Structure 1
Amino acid sequence: MTTKKSTLQLNRLVVYYGIKKIYDEDFHAGVNIIRGEHSVGKSTILDMIFYVLGGEPKKDDWKYPADVCSNVLAEISVNKKTITLKRQINSEGGIPHIEIYDGNYDKAIKDVGDWSDYGSRRNNDKLSFSEIMFELFDWGQYKSSDYHNLTMHQIMRLIYLSQSSDSNRIFRKESTRSDNENTRLAIAEFLLGLDDLETHSYRQSLLKNEREYEISGTELRTYFEVLGNTADLTVEKINEAIEQKKVELDDINAKRSLLLDKNGTFDDLGENNISNERNMALEKSHKLTMKINTKNIELDSIKIELQDCILFGKSLNYRMKALNESKDTYQSLGKISFDYCPCCFTPISDSSKEDEAGCALCKASELTASLTEKYIETLNELQYQTRQNETIIRKLSENIEYLEGFIAELNIELQSTQNKLFDLSLTSNHRELAIAEIIEERTAKLLEISSLNEKIESASKVDNLIKRREYILQKIEACRNKITALEAKNAERRTYVYKILGDISTNILEMDSGNEEKFKSATSLSTEIDFAKDRWLLNERVNYSDSSNVVKKAALHLAFLLFSITDEYCRYPRFSIMDFECGDINEERSQNLQKIITSCLDGKVDYQLIMTTSKVAPSLNNDELGVGRFYGKNDYILKI
């Protein structure tokens, strides 16, 4: 792990519209504040910085007039070495190359021949822009595969606090599948000096192997469906089965040769016996047909009975439902009195006693308790009938299943008898019948051998897949063991880093001027920074009010910068971009946050923070901290 600190500083930013400069400002070490009213283009300038440093914005991320500009150039210093970057603006979602000049901006624009062009992805002939930047930062090239590498775009996601990203997230938003837990964790661990991408490499390999194992399992199940019985899927077992079938075929061929040999002996009992066998087969076929018809009639009768029971069960369920509804209605409404008969509208005579309990319609004496008893009695009867009906349904279903199996067996026997009857009708003696049976048996055996031969290729693939899956499992286990070992190796530093970041950020929160009560005692609360899940839990909570989320996120990003300034193992390049201000944060709270940021950085050296504000604190509204002038209403930073 390197102990050399990484530094990045933006010295100058120039934006071109065609050949016209529409933005040209110098930046300085320390705090840089881009000041201006809402919607004058402050965030757009930060997006330009993100873009020229290797960021890859999507098509929808571009805003006017940046989307119609032609080029953006940046003079930067990486570990004190000054270079100039140039990138063509493509708002259609492409990823243009980045040109690098070894020298400052003034020399770069005069020298058109010494620029080097680098793509966003490596190829066999040339390094990528990210690889060149990693070399300049002295981060090295730890892995040889893009699958395991980080890019400057991913590095910038933790450096750039973007207003367009969710305020309760740590990283700049990403809308592609590359934004996964492994990638986010790798970015943080690499920049904070917890890993040199070795653990990330094993995590990515683990993910790749697990996906391959899952895909091979799906493919294996497909072959199982084709091959049938999994116990006979190996090539060795199929070859054994083929050899056994060939032995059986040789026996059949020997029988055939004996029958075809005219000089051979064969006990033929004559035409009468053939006729007798034909009659017996015909009679058996007739009996089987009659038996099948009888069983089918019995089966249909049981199915009708079963359907009746099912309908009766539905009726019982409906009656129980109605009974429950009736009970609920009575308990809700109580006793109902009628002045007129609901059927014929004849007046109903009054009861002899007004308080006498009874039916308001038929005047029958009926206590509430007896109604409850009748309800329970009726419910019990319905439940008993339901249980009995379910028992009958189960027995009928079992009978149907038995009869269907029995009829299927009878049909097989009938088909066999009819086949034999057909063979007997074509022969005049036993010798001819035996020859026909041998031919049929030989044909069936050849088909079995052919079917087994067709399965060999698939079985071979199954064997290879099984071996491959065993090998992948070994690789998965090796990756998991290596990850566990690497995490254990860095466990002490990880605990230290997370604690320091939590301490710094909660101390910052206690200086907030907002109404969030939890922030006032933040240092005493539990804190969990989870880069993989892209969240920071304070007091086991992720979300607070929108303005409090803004302060909370800014506090954590400021903690990254402060930690990088003092920690010798941290790769975070002591460079931060903050576009934290949103419409929900009031002027007093925003200005207080600005003061917190500048006071925390007071006296620190070799760092750069670029931030924007429309509510700049009066004490910070000066040329020493400011970049360019204060842009008033409708005074746009980028003017076409």
Structure 2
Amino acid sequence: MMNNLHLNRLIVYTNNGEVAYDEKFHHGINIICGDNSSGKSTITHFIFFALGGEFNDFVPEARECQVVFAEILANDTIVTIKRYIEISDRTNNINARIAMHIFWGDYDESQNPPPNKYWQKFQYNTTPEKRSFSNVLFELLGLPEVKEENNITIHQILRLLYIDQESPTSSLFFYEEFDKQTTREAVSDLLLGVYNQDLYTLKLDLYHAEKQLEEVKNEIRLTKRFFQNAFSLNKEHLNTQIQNKEIEIQSLNEEILQIRSSIKEINYHSTDQLEFQKLQEQTSDKRIIVVNLQNEISILSNELVDSEFFIEALNDKYRALSNSVHTREFLGNIPLDYCPECLNKLIQTDNEHNCKLCKQSSDDSFGITQAKRMQLEIKFQIEESKKLLKFKNKNLTRLESSLEKNISELNDLQIRVNASIVDVRPFELEKLDSLNFQKGLAEGEILQFRTMLEQASIFEKLLEEKLTLDKNISSLKYRILTIQKIQKNLKKETISTIQTEGVYLLNNDFERQREFTSAEPKDLIIDFSNNLVYLKTDDTEKFKQYQKFSASSNFYLKISARFALYLASLKQGSMRFPRFIFADNMEDKGIEKERAQNFQNILIQRVNLLDPNKKSQLIYTTSYITDDLLHSEHIVGEYYTKDNPSLKHINK
């Protein structure tokens, strides 16, 4: 279970800089209790907001606060989160998408950071240049980033972790006015553990391959439209044409030389010298272009090799850090009861954070936290390096094509220079003029064929690229289909576990709803896609619609389904639900006190049974607290009242 989230501490400051709320939370059950209108809901709103949720419907007392801190434990990494409560002067609304500041350490250390640590600011939205705080939190929680039709944010994840009062009982998720079915499906698949990291990568590769294939096809279509004659794109045909023209030019040169050799007197005209000089200058300029292109290609090729080695080195470093974290976690769990030197039994220390051997204070989480932070930075470097590598490869292809064309042109110029050395033309001879004219036409045709040959080379590469992409796409689709079949079976198994836990809560309800006590796991339908939960009954089959119960029973059904997700995650390690859930008010919609208290008792008993070592965290608020729970270790803070609200030092 490597997707765990825990809230260690929540701190809220007022606009005057005073502490409005500061409480530590523990693993296992956490209960915030108090009278109605004492500020219990406000605390859960702050938790939702601090963890990255979009929330702006704060009560007036909460609007008197300026910043909220949350110290969290994400898997084995402790980080502190800070979000400001910013009110717009124009709309008077809270900025629900304000940036998040993250510190790699606990809250106390964040208030006076050492020189090697500092706060980092991350915006809400992800851009090609910058990562968002959702990207960071996903990495910490070991969640893959879902970027299919929707870019899933941490807010969307929290919609299934937070049970609020404002959402209607018909809404399984935290309610949003503009909600997409595809978003709910992606979030549920992710948290159920159905969404596969490899599938995400394969789909992303397929998306890029299909996009690249479409671009290649467009280039092929445009090239064919411009060169409608098929021979114009045939390299073998064009090379043959060039060779024929070169033979023709050679024959013309021989004929020209024969005519000139018969001339007794040769006059070297200035025009001949000027043409020779001109050809030499053109050849020199072209040679410089070729050399520069060769140098550019050489440098770029070396850069590509360096980039590939650099990316591979980063991947090795990322894997090494992962192995280091896993090794540290494994070795940290090995009990050390005897001294390795004298083999005597070690004396236990009262402080669990002290070393069993030397009794000095130790912090196992520090190394893991640093490794996680370095992993995150390396991952960002890898992504940027891959983008740069793709750009360089495209540039290399362009340079190679240009080099091929310029080398051909240089060869043609050199032939003309060589010919001009012995080319002292007596222009008064009409035969020479005619031959030179034919020679010029042939040379022009060669230039044209060279240009066409360059385009034919590009066209040939496009056809090869298309063939490679077609094969790659077929392979990707086959692998995606295979994984999806596995996903289907895993989802069926996970849903069955959730149904079992949900029906357990329904079966143990007070006998207020006959259908609850007789329900079976298969009767509980949790439809993430359509955002509803219902119970199949005889009436469901008869009237082709799900049965509606009283408001209190509908509320009981909803929270049973939501807590069933959390309980199922304690049993099934494949789920990515982060073994963390928080609920605002365990009594709503007129549910009676005894029924609400009974639900709390059976829920706590079930959690203790499934999570005896308290690896998960459950936070909820209630006004219907039993005497036993009121004096238990589960209580967080005081019992709040209107005269003693949850938020202190608020100016009313």
Query: Normalising by the residue count of structure 2, what TM-score does the alignment of the two structures yield?
Result: 0.53
Describe the superposition over 1:565-602 as per-residue Cα deviations: whole angstroms up to 9, x where unpaired.
Answer: 22121111100011242151111111011101111111
Paired residues for 1:234-313 under 5 Å: none
- 2:160 is paired with a residue of what secondary structure? helix
Q: Does 1:153 align with 2:159?
A: no
Match of 1:306 in 2: none
In 1, the alpha carbon distance for the partners of 2:170 and 2:204 equals 26
Q: Does 1:67 align with 2:63?
A: yes
Paired residues for 1:203-602 under 5 Å: 486-523=483-520, 526-539=523-536, 540=540, 541=546, 543-579=548-584, 580-602=586-608
Match of 2:85 in 1: 89
Aligned-partner residue type, residue 129 of structure 1: F
In 2, the alpha carbon distance for the partners of 1:16 and 1:69 equals 6
- 1:602 is paired with a residue of what secondary structure? helix
- C-alpha contact 1:11 1:75 (8 A) present in aligned 2: yes
Match of 1:162 in 2: 164
Sequence identity (%): 33
Q: Which ranges in structure 2 are unaligned for 5 or more consecutive residues?
A: 88-92, 208-224, 227-472, 541-545
Distance 1:47 1:123, change over 3 A: same
Distance 1:10 1:544, change over 3 A: same
User: How much has 1:526 moved relative to structure 2?
Assistant: 2.1
Match of 1:374 in 2: none
In 1, the alpha carbon distance for the partners of 2:11 and 2:174 equals 24
Match of 2:28 in 1: 30
- C-alpha contact 2:555 2:589 (8 A) present in aligned 1: no
In 1, the alpha carbon distance for the partners of 2:44 and 2:206 equals 36
Paired residues for 1:613-632 under 5 Å: 613-632=622-641
In 1, the alpha carbon distance for the partners of 2:621 and 2:573 equals 29
Aligned-partner residue type, residue 522 of structure 1: A
- C-alpha contact 1:186 1:200 (8 A) present in aligned 2: no
Describe the superposition over 1:111-143 as per-residue Cα deviations: whole angstroms up to 9, x where unpaired.
Answer: 2971011111122332111111111112244x5
Whose radius of gyration is greater, 1 or 2? 1
In 1, the alpha carbon distance for the partners of 2:521 and 2:564 equals 17
In 2, the alpha carbon distance for the partners of 1:581 and 1:478 equals 53
Describe the superposition over 1:226-250 as per-residue Cα deviations: whole angstroms up to 9, x where unpaired.
Answer: xxxxxxxxx99xxxxxxxxxxxxxx
| Alignment size in residue pairs | 376
Match of 1:119 in 2: 123
User: How much has 1:499 moved relative to structure 2?
Assistant: 1.1
- Farther-moved stretch of structure 1 (98-107 vs 572-581): 572-581
Distance 1:126 1:596, change over 3 A: same
In 1, the alpha carbon distance for the partners of 2:205 and 2:50 equals 31
Distance 1:479 1:62, change over 3 A: farther
In 1, the alpha carbon distance for the partners of 2:43 and 2:8 equals 14
In 1, the alpha carbon distance for the partners of 2:507 and 2:516 equals 5
Query: Normalising by the residue count of structure 1, what TM-score does the alignment of the two structures yield?
Result: 0.54
In 1, the alpha carbon distance for the partners of 2:83 and 2:495 equals 36
Aligned-partner residue type, residue 70 of structure 1: Q
Match of 2:468 in 1: none
- 1:66 is paired with a residue of what secondary structure? helix
- C-alpha contact 2:526 2:561 (8 A) present in aligned 1: no
Aligned-partner residue type, residue 563 of structure 1: A
- 2:121 is paired with a residue of what secondary structure? strand
Which residue of the other structure, out of 19, 22, 27, is the alignment partner of 1:21? 19
Aligned-partner residue type, residue 75 of structure 2: N
Report the aligned-residue RMSD. 3.6
Distance 1:477 1:521, change over 3 A: farther
Aligned-partner residue type, residue 127 of structure 1: R
Aligned-partner residue type, residue 41 of structure 1: G
Match of 1:180 in 2: 180
Aligned-partner residue type, residue 5 of structure 1: M
- 1:503 is paired with a residue of what secondary structure? helix
Aligned-partner residue type, residue 187 of structure 1: V
In 2, the alpha carbon distance for the partners of 1:26 and 1:635 equals 19
- 2:520 is paired with a residue of what secondary structure? helix
